[in-house]
Structure 1
Amino acid sequence: MAEKSLYNYRVEPQEVDFTLRATIPSLGAAILNTAGIDAHGKGFGVDALNADNHSWVLSRMAIEFDFQPVQYTDYTVATWISDYGRVLSTRNFTLTDVSGREFGRAVSQWAMIDLRTRSAVDLSWVGDAHADAIVDAPSPTERPRKIREVNPTQRSEHRVVYSDIDFNRHVNTMRYIEMMLDMLPLELLTSGDPVRLDIHFLKECRYGQTLAVGCELRERSALFEIAGDGGPAAVRASVEWK
């Protein structure tokens, strides 16, 4: 049975806001970069899958931060895969500063798609071929919650451009999160309070589409729904400050 893998990071100046604390998207990017680096090192990264016209796509994710570390803080991201199913694989993370204090955790669920048909494929073979990559440890927090209904109280539009697109040629996860957070009051975003974000991807959004971003703002939380070109919801998410 495998052990958790550890990767070291530092909060760089371009990753903080005017409070000099790391932003949620910058920490989220470190989490997703860790997933890619670890999969690549174990032989089932995007580069290996692309040879068969397959790729990983994020289906759902939950991230929690007890606090957002300040500029130049060194921290470690631990990651491990706890299970492979036929449709989804679960990859987990914890974030710990140099004093050993855990300040963040995440649970992500991944699907594999055929790049030609853009449809999900059975990933059981990955679990069979790489069973030695599974770690016998539970997820560090509740798995991603589903958001079933959003009743927006405010809306914005965003046209998908080159800088929004990732290696799968659809909108990058952190760009979605930035679009949503940009609709929230500064006092929430800069409070420094513990925060949890859940995001659920229902379909892809691609280059050239016009996205409608709907926000249902509550006292200490917000629900979001993003749809492309007047179609059904492509992304739903929630953010809650404790």
Structure 2
Amino acid sequence: MQPTIRYKKNYHVDLSDVDFQKELRLSALFGYFQDIANLAAENLGVGINQLLEKYGVAFVIMRIRVDMIRNPILDEEITIETWPLRPGKLEFERDYLVRDQNGEVIARAVSVWVIMDLKKRRLKRSEAINLDYPEYTEDRAINITLGKIKVSANLEDVYQKTIGYSDIDFNGHLNNAKYVDFIMDCFSLEDLHTYPIRSIEVNYLNEVLPGDRLVLKKDSTNKSNHTFFVDGVRESDEKIVFRSKVIVEGK
């Protein structure tokens, strides 16, 4: 396949990807995004294996926002399109559009990535890898610049989670899609049924490793505005490992 700036792939929503309402789990959608991001990177010569063999680095996601227009359902066929923007000095931006079989956009996402030296566990500048896009685009799936999510002052403990085998990806740290499951588990099934999530934004702040114990905390003081904040705090050093903002559908 010729290198292309816009990469598309079809996905079938399988039984293992849906929740109790037979709708695509957000964490499964994040998994799709991770999959197509690597395929698109491979097409441009900077996939997982290529980066590891040539440079000893990997792409690591730092920020993402996903806006849901409609949740895909069991057995639905969807198409995801992704494209990168011009790299910055440290960051790589990548956007996504999710379409149904009629070509209607049902979800939009924007993300920010960096490259990490897997031995030193340190970030490297974008110029450390040879990345030659066939063209550049300024198109955005969501017309925003991802920044820091505000600090919440009214966080309350919800539950604790110890990181184990099933949570870890090939980089040896907590997989980015797993964070979404942890966030979703801060809401009751009744709430998720009554108030579907329409937007989720995550800041990945510190690496999470096997054996780490996280305390999940939620701020519900903006509930009247249909907005919640969820943080994950490592118990051993009290560092915030992720911060998130969730907007639900108003009734």
TM-score normalized by structure 1?
A: 0.92
Give the secondary structure class of the aligned counterpart of 1:197. Answer: strand
Summarize the Cα distance change of 1:194–1:225 in structure 2 as closer, same or farther, 3 Å threshold.
closer
Match of 1:43 in 2: 45
* Structure-to-structure mapping, 1:90-239, within 5 angstroms: 90-126=93-129, 129-132=131-134, 134-150=136-152, 151-191=154-194, 193=196, 195-217=198-220, 218-219=222-223, 220-228=226-234, 229-239=236-246
Contact 1:145/1:198 (8 A) holds in 2: no
Residues 144 and 199 in structure 1, CA contact (< 8 A), matched pair in contact too: no
Whole-angstrom distance in 2 between the partners of 1:129 and 1:161: 34
Partner in structure 2 of residue 59 of structure 1: 62
1:77-114 deviations in whole A, cap 9, x for unaligned? 00000120111000000000001110001101000011
- The alpha-carbon deviation at position 212 of structure 1 amounts to 1.3
Matched residue type, 2:91: L
Checking the alignment, whether the CA contact within 8 Å between 1:67 and 1:194 is kept in structure 2 is no
Q: CA deviation at 1:145?
A: 4.2
What is the RMSD of the two structures over their aligned residues, measured on CA atoms?
1.9
Instruction: Give the Cα separation in 2 of the matches to 1:123 and 1:96.
Output: 31
Give the secondary structure class of the aligned counterpart of 1:59.
strand
Amino acid aligned to 1:234 = V
Larger CA deviation: 182-191 vs 107-116: 182-191
Give yes or no for contact 1:88–1:109 (8 Å, CA) kept in 2.
yes
Distance 2:147 2:124 in 1: 23
Shift, 1:46, TM fit = 1.5
Give the distance between the partners of 2:72 and 2:191, measured in 1 at CA.
16
Contact 1:9/1:76 (<8 A) preserved: yes
Whole-Å separation in 1 of the counterparts to 2:242 and 2:88: 22
Q: How many residues were matched structurally? A: 241
The 3 A distance-change label for structure 1 pair 192 and 36 is farther
Indicate the SS of the match to 1:83.
coil
Task: Please tell me whether the aligned partners of residues 197 and 246 of structure 2 are also in contact (alpha carbons under 8 angstroms).
Answer: no
Structure-1 separation of matches of 2:179 and 2:197: 21
Change (3 A) 1:14 1:45: same
TM-score, reference length from structure 2 = 0.89
Tell me the distance in 2 between the aligned counterparts of 1:33 and 1:18: 24
Query: Tell me, which stretches of 5 or more residues in structure 2 are unaligned?
Result: none
